Amino acid sequence: MPDPAIPAALAGKPFDACRVGDSASWTHRLTEEDVRRFAELSGDYNPVHLDDSYARQHGFRSRIVYGMLAGGAYLSRVLGMLLPGPGALWLTQDTRFARPIYLGDEITITVRVTQKNDALRTLVLETAATNQRGERVQSGEAKVMMLMNEKTLPWDEMTAVVTGGSRGIGAAICAALGERGARVVVNYHQQAAAAAEVVAAVEQLGGRAVAVQADITAAADCARLVEAARAAFGPVNVLVHNATPPVIEKALLDLTEEDFDGYYRAYVQGAFNLARQVVPEMKAAGCGRIVHVLASAVLGNPPPGLAAYVAAKSGLLGLSRAMAVELAPFGITVNSVSPSVVPTDRWRDVPDTRLRAMVRGIPLQRFATPQDVARAVLICLGPEGSYMTGVNLPIAGGEVM
């Protein structure tokens, strides 16, 4: 429990708020009771600490206080309560004893941050102890790690932006979130009527929803989308990036720069634009969930005629992994799901003979459904996935293993 003697305003500092140069101090006058309790706790009854006459025989003016009271116990008090504070795990300590400490001395313990590692959540601190005359009695260096309290994200506290949410996989994800009581922002590009139907379905299932038009390839539209989400439901803590342009098969040499650019902007640039909008508030909250919908083609042998599509989806996979590493220290998970063929409306013109041939190559002997993909997304978002980040789940019926 926090010591009531420490003002609440000084009782610790969030790791994200710690900066190189930050410092904290605590002052204490050493008493016989301090020495007695330390002796009992440590089992160290060395007479130099307990017997004045013995200490004088060896050149000290009186008994000397245990050095580890200042450099251990009281330094621990500062690290564990003031800077960085509760959650600090003391990793290493280098202490140099400059002069003895005596009963009645008023010792000031000071720590100052000299290095910070965001990825490892560690701080290196210069440590010092001075007496009432300003004389340095100890100096050293400490290294501490800040433990991170796992923050759960209950379904009914989720504000989720789902891009491409008006149909197919996106609509199924919106419905699955609504069924669990989440607040859902159904993003659409052109299908306003379809998006309105998804909103109605979410609300019928027990969630709350709004539809917001935005072209996620445009940074300004992404900013407007997230601002609309905030206005409706508050800070965004869940992002599912599912939007896709029409996927058209083209032979490699028939592809144009515009083809590559269109896929890249939708998948990679869109994900980046959205992350820039939602990650700051996720970091501030110490929790967030991001899921990117990819394709099994990034894992197995890519089908012919989809080079630009596969290249862009593979780029999004790389971005997802990079984001997972960088954002993990802030309690934000970034995962992906990679479905194989999901017979949505874009497959309506594919001949039945080709579909039957394709399904024979799937061990489970069926195509994925939008609901299959939605269930995988929920694993990434829910408590079951709280310790999972940088993962790409293949939703492929065994076609990719």
**Catalytic annotation, residues:** 309
* Look-up of token digits 């009581």: 181
Nearest to 339 by CA among 266, 393, 267, 264: 393
- Chain length of the chain: 401
- Take residue 274 and report the two structure tokens written for it: 């959205």
Q: Return the C-alpha torsion angle 226, 200, 188, 318, nearest 10.
A: 70
Rounded CA gap, 29 and 125, in Å? 23
Burial per residue of 294-324, b for 16 or more beta-carbon CB atoms within 10 angstroms, e otherwise: bbbbbbeebeebbbbbbbbbbbbbebbbebb
